[in-house]
Structure 1
Amino acid sequence: MSDGSFGLTEAVSIALGGMIGGGIYAVLGVVTTITRAATWFAFLLADVLAICSAYSYIKLNELAVNDNGGDGGGSVTFVQSFTGNSRLAGMIGWTLLLGYVGSMAMYAFAFAEFSISLPGVPSSIGGLPLRPTISVLVIAGFVGLNLLGADATGSAENILTSAKVIVLVVFGLAGIVYALSVSSDPVTFGTSRFTSFSPIMAAAVSFVAFQGWQLLFYDQESIAELLETIPKAIYLSIPVAVSIYMLVALVTYNLAPNAIQNNPHTALVDAASTIGGAVGLASAAGIVISLSALFSTGSAINATMFSAGYFAKGMATDDLLPDRAGDASASGVPTRTLLILGIVTAVFTAYGSLSAITAFASLTFIVVFGAMGALAFAQRDTDRITAIWPAVGTVGGGLSFVLMFYHLYTAERGTFYAVVLIAVAVFAVELLYFERDILEEEIPSVDRDSETPVE
């Protein structure tokens, strides 16, 4: 759509759908293994960082539209607009694309985990685990769907988001009622962990679940009165999403402590079964949550792939991606671009663990959002920007980055080395691409020097 027909309701649905889409189903188990009962507090900390990051995006967008006479945009546009450095913009764009790939891999992993949790679905066939196969197949399915030109309207997004939110809110409220009136165990809030670094580390790991609001900046031509609608939508959607995350985390940990220990990725199913068991509907409640998870993670894969495809096409148009990544002049998302995104995502989700994929995706978004905070802080002399919020976002992002690396190094050494190797490889490829003109000038001189006769 390009007629500015998305109002506040549709904008809230897009932002909220991007966060609720699959994040809670994918990150809850990972975060609870880090900070246990204080998971709800970790989500609250992530909320603060997300709001500060959103403030920077909103203010940079206002400056880009009003002062620079542009159409607004996202991270790449902001870097180009305020620094004039295309290489830096391109490297930020590549990092963001990796974040999208990590997000899709995370959703596909969770999709498979909840598929296996359904009655009658085996965890392996012939001794081979079924999880990687399901994850790869769902990625392939949504690549095919996007190749057909699938899209969602604002009205459809309203319905889909409402359904996802209703299921989780009902689950959370029913869980609170169960904990207070049926369960004999006291509700645990994990306050003893508030004085440790574990909630901060968990907040950093969960950050990937709170980045969906930025999708609004890539569809601004569809939003009416964008400079008013986008801030309202973001400042409404982030607190609502975080409130739901906190409620679900509190209920799941208290009602399914054994599942949190033994099978944290699908502990939501056990918690729902416990609630449903009070009225004789344990199996039905578990199936509803599993199906909701499949629906939510599937729609999140589709929406992220759609957005990432157009984002990559825009980068190719600006010569920030190689021509071989896809034909930027093609109608819609280039086929080759979708195939590359799908293949890389499939490799990530097939061979990575959920904790590793989640950590990798969160790190990429922390880097990008922290950079946008620093960029907004650099523009603090303008009347529109209050320096404290970009400063908090930048410092918080930097601290989260350091603490996450520390956590990975001490608790998940294999994941730490994998993330470092991937980061180094990507950085090397970026330098080779963006410094290719310099390399082309230097290589002939090397050849000529090598041909100089020796006396």
Structure 2
Amino acid sequence: MPTSPTPALARRLGLVDAVAIGLGAMIGAGVFAAFGPAAQAAGPWLLASLAIAAVVAYCNATSSAQLAAVHTAAGGTYAYGRAELGAWWGFAAGWCFLIGKLASCAAMAMTFAAYAAPAGWERPVALLAVAALVGVNLLGVTRTALATKIIVSVALLALAIAVAGGFTAPAAGGAAFAGELPLGSLGLLQAAGLLFFAFAGYARIATMGEEVKDPARTIPHAITIAFVIALVVYAAVGSSLLWALGASGVASSNAPLADAVSAAGWGWAAPVVRIGAAAASLGALLALIAGIGRTGLAMAREHDLPPFLSAVHPRFRVPHRMELAVGVVVIGVVAVADLRGAIGFSSFGVLLYYLIANLSAWRQRREVRRYPRGMQALGVAGCLLLAFTLPWQSVVAGAAVLAVGMAGRVLRLRRERARSGE
């Protein structure tokens, strides 16, 4: 099926903009949503799980950077998979991205509401946050980048206060890597899979390849810079939480960073941390909506989603119909979902997405290769291992939704062949 003749997106983002959007997607997801569930699985070995997640994520990041330097259209691994492996692989990547990141949007909206809403008002506030940020995205990508820079700055300031406070608290947890794993070695891998949820934000940079200036140079640099900054932040936060609360305290807390500064006697800092958590969650949600919109645009252009979703707004130059559709779906998920289930479901879909990214990078020719094939092989193995050691409910639900998407494409292709034979 030939690509639909739709208007191109405008190249308006520089390196700082791209790094900010990647950080906005990462900072918030890992710091304020994933450490608690991960500590339940890994206990005092939480930082070891973070290291495993970081290795897999770095392999995926380098594959994404290598691919983005060659394939500069919007769509991320959906576009890369189509170009390097074929249409079915591209569809599988795009579908996994959509289902995983729609769940991520719901998780970020619920995290924002948990920190910002009065008791009993969490779900309505989460719904309003989704609607408001869809509106921001509809105003244009430069406004998205500006809003993300502001949000990331607030979040990093709050995190710096939280880390400093955590390290001044009396030691509660002893040394990391001391003590038994609550769920054995499987728990170590489960925690790594849940913490991987925190690193997937660099995909937002790759999916916006059609809007970045000099994408062959900017995107690889932006992915690496955003990843390194996020890793340093996560390591500092994880260490301070273990110091102040211990593994059991992190696992049992709904707001571990606020509890850590309270343990240090920094009562004044708890509201600051809550503001930072709310800002970080909004930043992640804002960048996620933008990234899903661009992947959906690419899929609609190839008729893997309804073609009317491929429209680009003539003034604001954004995929407005796709972003509105994203908002509707996420609002529906927020209305019925729970935070922990959303994180596991999202991790499963995104790990399969990056599995295809690594396979696509493996297939690239030598002259465009930036990283050794061994890194892509490690990325493939790591994605498979972490995906299928997640809680079984997440694996079953993710596999079922993936199967529904693949079956839907089979039916669409059959209908198109039947029409062409008439």
TM-score norm. by structure 2 comes to 0.85
AA aligned opposite 2:409: E
Q: Which residue of 1 aligns with 2:261?
A: 272
Greater mean deviation of Cα atoms: 236-245 or 432-441: 432-441
Q: Give the Cα–Cα distance (whole angstroms) in 1 for the partners of residues 42 and 361 of structure 2.
A: 32
Q: CA deviation at 1:22?
A: 3.6
Structure 1 segment 6-155 matched on structure 2, within 5 A: 6-7=14-15, 9-64=16-71, 74-83=76-85, 85-116=86-117, 121-122=118-119, 124=120, 130-149=121-140, 151-152=142-143
Q: CA deviation at 1:158?
A: 4.1
Q: Which residue of 2 aligns with 1:367?
A: 352
Q: Give the Cα–Cα distance (whole angstroms) in 1 for the partners of residues 329 and 305 of structure 2.
A: 16
Q: Give the Cα–Cα distance (whole angstroms) in 2 for the partners of residues 99 and 158 of structure 1.
A: 24
Contact preservation (8 Å) 2:13, 2:142:
no
Contact preservation (8 Å) 1:380, 1:386:
no
* 2:229 aligned with 1:245: no
Which consecutive residues of structure 1, in runs of 5 or more, have no partner in the other structure? 65-69, 125-129, 445-455
Q: Which residue of 2 aligns with 1:447?
A: none
Contact preservation (8 Å) 2:100, 2:346:
yes
Which consecutive residues of structure 2, in runs of 5 or more, have no partner in the other structure? 1-8
Q: Give the Cα–Cα distance (whole angstroms) in 2 for the partners of residues 174 and 289 of structure 1.
A: 10
Cα distance change of structure 1 residues 318 and 427 upon mapping to structure 2, 3 Å threshold = closer
Cα distance change of structure 1 residues 71 and 422 upon mapping to structure 2, 3 Å threshold = closer
What SS class does the counterpart of residue 372 from structure 2 fall into?
Answer: coil
* 2:284 aligned with 1:300: yes
Residues 322-343 of structure 1, C-alpha deviations (whole Å, 9 max, x = no match): 135x352543445543332122
Cα distance change of structure 1 residues 193 and 342 upon mapping to structure 2, 3 Å threshold = farther
Q: Give the Cα–Cα distance (whole angstroms) in 1 for the partners of residues 372 and 173 of structure 2.
A: 43
Cα distance change of structure 1 residues 79 and 18 upon mapping to structure 2, 3 Å threshold = same
Residues 352-380 of structure 1, C-alpha deviations (whole Å, 9 max, x = no match): 22121111111111001011112222336
Structure 1 segment 291-370 matched on structure 2, within 5 A: 291-323=275-307, 326=309, 328=311, 330-331=313-314, 332-333=317-318, 335-370=320-355
- One of 175, 198, 213 as aligned partner of 1:188: 175
Q: Give the Cα–Cα distance (whole angstroms) in 2 for the partners of residues 100 and 365 of structure 1.
A: 7
Cα distance change of structure 1 residues 290 and 201 upon mapping to structure 2, 3 Å threshold = same
Contact preservation (8 Å) 2:74, 2:208:
no
* 2:212 aligned with 1:211: no
- One of 233, 236, 250 as aligned partner of 2:222: 233
Cα distance change of structure 1 residues 185 and 10 upon mapping to structure 2, 3 Å threshold = same
Contact preservation (8 Å) 1:110, 1:265:
no
Q: Give the Cα–Cα distance (whole angstroms) in 1 for the partners of residues 361 and 178 of structure 2.
A: 34
AA aligned opposite 2:356: A
Q: Give the Cα–Cα distance (whole angstroms) in 1 for the partners of residues 411 and 196 of structure 2.
A: 30
AA aligned opposite 2:87: S
Residues 77-100 of structure 1, C-alpha deviations (whole Å, 9 max, x = no match): 2122223x3343233212212222
Q: Give the Cα–Cα distance (whole angstroms) in 2 for the partners of residues 228 and 378 of structure 1.
A: 21
Contact preservation (8 Å) 1:30, 1:265:
no
- One of 425, 431, 437 as aligned partner of 2:410: 431
AA aligned opposite 1:214: A
Q: CA deviation at 1:172?
A: 1.3
Contact preservation (8 Å) 1:4, 1:224:
yes
AA aligned opposite 1:310: R
- One of 384, 400, 403 as aligned partner of 1:398: 384
Cα distance change of structure 1 residues 340 and 193 upon mapping to structure 2, 3 Å threshold = farther
Q: Which residue of 2 aligns with 1:453?
A: none
Contact preservation (8 Å) 2:107, 2:343:
yes
TM-score norm. by structure 1 comes to 0.80
**Number of residue equivalences:** 408
What SS class does the counterpart of residue 69 from structure 2 fall into?
Answer: helix
Q: Give the Cα–Cα distance (whole angstroms) in 2 for the partners of residues 165 and 381 of structure 1.
A: 39
Q: CA deviation at 1:211?
A: 1.2
Q: Is the radius of gyration larger for structure 1 or structure 2?
A: 1
Greater mean deviation of Cα atoms: 244-253 or 361-370: 244-253
Q: Give the Cα–Cα distance (whole angstroms) in 2 for the partners of residues 88 and 311 of structure 1.
A: 14
Q: Identity rate of aligned residues, in percent?
A: 24
* 2:255 aligned with 1:260: no
* 2:173 aligned with 1:171: no
Q: CA deviation at 1:417?
A: 4.7
Residues 426-448 of structure 1, C-alpha deviations (whole Å, 9 max, x = no match): 33333333443246689x9xxxx
